[in-house]
Amino acid sequence: MTRGEKLYEGKAKILYATEDPQLVIQYFKDDATAFNAQKRGTIVDKGVVNNQISVHLFQWLEREGVPTHFVKQLSDREMLVKRLEIIPLEVTIRNIVAGGMAKMLGLEEGIVLKQPVFEWHYKSDALGDPLINDDHIFALGAATAQELAHIRQQSYRVNDVLKRYFAQRSIDLVDFKLEFGRCQDKILLGDEISPDTCRFWEQGTKRKLDKDRFRRDLGDIEAAYQEMLNRVIGAPAAR
């Protein structure tokens, strides 16, 4: 598969066309942004780490019955994925209070939620991905009721699978963001799953091993990303 024209450049990734119109190359950059791109920086080798982590987690999710856009890894920073018509929504699932939920409801970070919290956000950098509900989505015609039900069900499944996966590696999956897209008559999980899009806390110490180290200037960012890669590709702890 060879890289064709650049189709889209986002904050952390670039999409390139290939000779197959159904397939695109997802290239992972080292660029990091936060707070709606007001804060910008570079995390050395983030692209390599996030590509590897995403490859591994997409393969794991496929094995657990969640269809994704992943086809195969092409290089350190590139994966081949199915071309999707991205649905302009971001799903967030939260297991522990942090970030946006702590701010919105005036809660302490770290409260373990009695059940996962599912949120729809409208995908818009200009608006800061605002929280919306099903009515907004239908009123905008962004997706159908059937599509929303399917995405919700798949997202909960991703949470169950990943919570278990990370617990076996002594990591709490605090929250994460997912994006989905249409591919022929199917809906597939797209984008990436990495320390850029999830909050990971080491069990016991609550050490943050994700992009919050960049957002909050906590230092040791590269080491935290590398640590997450080692945990993801490492064997589960014996229980």
Q: Which of 61, 70, 90, 225 binds ligand 5GP (CB under 6 A)?
A: 90
Task: Please give the size of the binding site for ligand 5GP, defined by CB under 6 A.
Answer: 15
Residues 198-237 touching ligand 5GP, rule: CB under 6 A, are 198-199, 211
Q: Which of 78, 172, 179, 196 binds ligand 5GP (CB under 6 A)?
A: 196
Tokens (6 digits) for 213: 């180290």
- Edge-to-edge strands, sheet with 186-189: 85-86, 180-183, 186-189
Q: Tell me how far apart the terminal alpha carbons of the chain are, to the nearest angstrom.
A: 42
**Is 176 in contact with 192 (CB distance < 8 Å)?**
no
Which residue is closest to ligand 5GP by CB? Answer: 99
- In the complex with ligand 5GP, the residue whose CB is nearer, 124 or 153, is 124
Cβ of residue 98: shortest distance to ligand 5GP, in angstroms?
6
Q: Which of 158, 150, 159, 137 is nearest to 182 (CA)?
A: 150
- In the complex with ligand 5GP, the residue whose CB is nearer, 25 or 101, is 101
**Alpha carbon distances (Å) from 123 to 129, 149, 158, 177:** 5, 18, 20, 11
Considering only the stretches 56-64, 96-104, 132-140, 180-188, report the one whose residues sit in contact with ligand 5GP under the rule CB under 6 A.
96-104
- In the complex with ligand 5GP, the residue whose CB is nearer, 19 or 217, is 217
Residues 10-69 touching ligand 5GP, rule: CB under 6 A, are none
- In the complex with ligand 5GP, the residue whose CB is nearer, 78 or 212, is 212
- Residue 33 pairs with which residues in a beta bridge? 40
Cβ of residue 34: shortest distance to ligand 5GP, in angstroms?
9
Beta strands in the chain (DSSP E): 6-9, 13-17, 23-28, 31-34, 39-42, 70-73, 78-82, 85-86, 89-96, 112-122, 131-132, 171-178, 180-183, 186-189, 198-202
Residues 127-186 touching ligand 5GP, rule: CB under 6 A, are 129, 175-177
100 is an interface residue for ligand 5GP by CB under 6 A: yes
DSSP 124: -
Cβ of residue 180: shortest distance to ligand 5GP, in angstroms?
14
- In the complex with ligand 5GP, the residue whose CB is nearer, 68 or 92, is 92
Q: Rounded to whole angstroms, how far apart are CA atoms 229 and 51?
A: 10
- Which residue, chain included where needed, has tokens 């091993």? 209
Q: Can you give the binding site for ligand 5GP, defined by CB under 6 A?
A: 90, 92, 98-101, 129, 175-177, 196-199, 211
